[in-house]
Amino acid sequence: MTRASSRRPGPPTRTERGIPEATVARLPVYLRALTALSDSGIATASSEDLATAAGVNSAKLRKDLSYLGSYGTRGVGYDVEYLRYQIAREIGVTQDWAVVIVGIGNLGHALANYSGFGTRGFRIVALLDADPTLVGERIGEMEVRDFAELEDIVKADRVSIGVITTPAGPAQDVCDRLVAAGVTSILNFAPVVLSVPDGVDIRKVDLSIELQILAYHEQRKSGEAALPQVPELPALNGMPDLPSVGGGVGA
């Protein structure tokens, strides 16, 4: 369960004409860098220029771009507008994707107001919440609608992307409803592991996990310089209470 990658046992285990996942994750960064260059009136950029703007190394950038085709000119560089369009087309943001946001709490509010929803390519078609006291509230140019309308909205507007900004509790239920209604991509802000059937893509954004990763490295920094009394042995000292093993798995 929870496998969302479609890996069929095809002939040579080759991803079907696919771009590596790590590259896909960087393409939006390149797209943004190209847009910035374009806005600055720059017409041509070398892989070195682009790499600097995108915060990566130039060899990696060139290899990434090579998966899309040969869009550069040796000795010259890349035409900014041309490459920008090619990447946008490859990602799929030359068309508009309909998005619903479920859960209009603080975060849902913030996302609903997010001007332009990042870059173009995405269109919020509905804000949904199950709380009757929220339904009807206006946020920007939209109105919060009842979660029960989900199915109608998804079908009417061909919604393929759902954003979950509910608390952890109802998130899996919301997710199931979204999938049942026909949504095939989900962006989850709720702090739970959601399980979805094969063929549905899911991505997670989790503030507290990010903070904890930072804390880990922060602790190392302090520990290295000042207080290296990290227990080297896998010892069991300083534990609140060391329970003896045993006690069934049931509740």
Partner DNA sequence: AGGAGCTTGTGAACGTGAGAACAAAATCGG
Partner DNA sequence: CCGATTTTGTTCTCACGTTCACAAGCTCCT
Q: Report how far residue 166's alpha carbon sits from residue 211's, in angstroms, rounded to the nearest whole number.
A: 20
- Residue 133 binds a copy of itself, judged by CB under 8 A: no
Query: Do 196 and 202 form a contact (C-beta atoms < 8 A)?
Result: yes
Neighbours of 167 (CB within 10 A): 11
Query: Least distance in Å: CB of 11 to DNA?
Result: 12
- Residue 72 binds DNA, judged by CB under 7 A: yes
- Choose among a copy of itself, DNA, none what residue 122 binds, the Cβ cut-off being 5 to 8 Å by kind: a copy of itself
Q: Report how far residue 66's alpha carbon sits from residue 19's, in angstroms, rounded to the nearest whole number.
A: 10
Residue type, 2: T
- When binding is defined by CB under 8 A, the residue of 12, 133, 216, 237 that contacts a copy of itself is 216
Residue type, 64: D
Q: Report how far residue 198's alpha carbon sits from residue 124's, in angstroms, rounded to the nearest whole number.
A: 25
Interface with a copy of itself: number of residues (CB under 8 A): 97
Within residues 87-126, the interface with a copy of itself by CB under 8 A covers 90-93, 97, 99, 105-107, 109-111, 113-114, 117-119, 121-122
Interface with DNA: number of residues (CB under 7 A): 29
- Choose among a copy of itself, DNA, none what residue 193 binds, the Cβ cut-off being 5 to 8 Å by kind: a copy of itself
- Choose among DNA, a copy of itself, none what residue 136 binds, the Cβ cut-off being 5 to 8 Å by kind: none
- When binding is defined by CB under 7 A, the residue of 42, 43, 76, 156 that contacts DNA is 76
Q: Quick check: helix, strand or coil at residue 162?
A: strand
In this complex, which beta carbon is closest to a copy of itself, that of residue 119 or of residue 148?
119
- Choose among a copy of itself, DNA, none what residue 35 binds, the Cβ cut-off being 5 to 8 Å by kind: none
- Residue 210 binds a copy of itself, judged by CB under 8 A: yes
Alpha helices (H) along 40-167: 47-54, 58-66, 80-91, 106-113, 150-157
- When binding is defined by CB under 7 A, the residue of 6, 73, 94, 212 that contacts DNA is 73
Backbone angles phi, psi at 78, to 5 degrees: -110, 140
Q: Report how far residue 85's alpha carbon sits from residue 158's, in angstroms, rounded to the nearest whole number.
A: 24
- Residue 60 binds DNA, judged by CB under 7 A: yes
Within residues 190-249, the interface with DNA by CB under 7 A covers 245-246
Within residues 12-51, the interface with DNA by CB under 7 A covers 13, 15, 20-23, 46-48
Q: What is the DSSP string of 127-155?
A: EEES-TTTTT-EETTEEEEEGGGHHHHHH
